[in-house]
Amino acid sequence: MKANYLFAIQKRKFKATTNSNHNYPIAPNLLNQNFKVGRPNQVWVSDITYIRTKQGWIYLTVIIDLFNGKVVGWALSEDLTTNNTIIKAWQMATKNIVLTQPLIFHSDRGIQYASYTFTNLLESYNGLVKQSMSRKGNCWDNAVAESFFKSLKVEWVYRHNYSLKSQAELSIFGWIETWYNKKRRHSFLGNKTIKEFELDMYNTKLAA
């Protein structure tokens, strides 16, 4: 490897972002690892991860639409409070859409997702949004979100050494909005970009 100037991307120190030790109600696992859906806004999955900088940790919350794998909402924060993580990501995801059909929202059992602040927000949709949570300690129940974070870190984050939190924020923004959602090709979409997949679906709808 040295002769060919190849270097392994080393696994970084783990920092937990999921606190499931709480007394809030736990939603049933409605998703049950059924990751194939038939329309946009049918199932959203969400998770939280950490990004290391020399100034300290920042936390990335994402909401992904299972229909096309698009990150429809995300938030970067310096803490793990509900308001600065999932609430901000939810606000982005719902900013430019009106939910008219049932939506399953799936996550782990973390306190941010189980808190009354967030569950009351979902209940305000009058039954249109159903909350789903992974089984305890089962990462496969939220495999799509886990896979997204792996791609983000291996393809991008581990290749950088962020000195400032602001540098990391700008870098993550660029990877999600200009690369992942628009230019990166996805095998589960037939090796198309999300934009190409959306355009094909739109043209098919017009022709129908």
Q: End-to-end CA distance of the chain, in Å? A: 54
Query: What average pLDDT does the segment 58-82 reach?
Result: 98
The H or E element spanning position 76 is strand 71-77
Q: What three-state secondary structure class fits 197?
A: helix
Count up the domains in the chain and report the number: 1
71 found inside a domain: yes
| Alpha helix stretches (DSSP H) within 49-189 | 86-93, 111-114, 116-123, 143-155, 165-174
178 secondary structure, DSSP code: I
Question: How much is the pLDDT for 17?
Answer: 59
Q: What three-state secondary structure class fits 24?
A: coil
Looking at the DSSP bridge assignments, the partners of residue 73 are 63
Tell me the residue range of the domain where 133 lies: 43-162
Q: What three-state secondary structure class fits 204?
A: helix
Question: What token pair was written down for 94?
Answer: 């719902």
133 found inside a domain: yes
> What does the alpha-carbon distance between residue 35 and residue 151 come to, in Å, rounded to a whole number?
18
193 found inside a domain: no
Best mean pLDDT range from 13-27, 127-141, 162-176, 194-208: 162-176
Higher pLDDT, 67 or 8: 67
Is the pLDDT confidence value at 176 over 70?
yes
- Output the domain CATH number for residue 144: 3.30.420.10
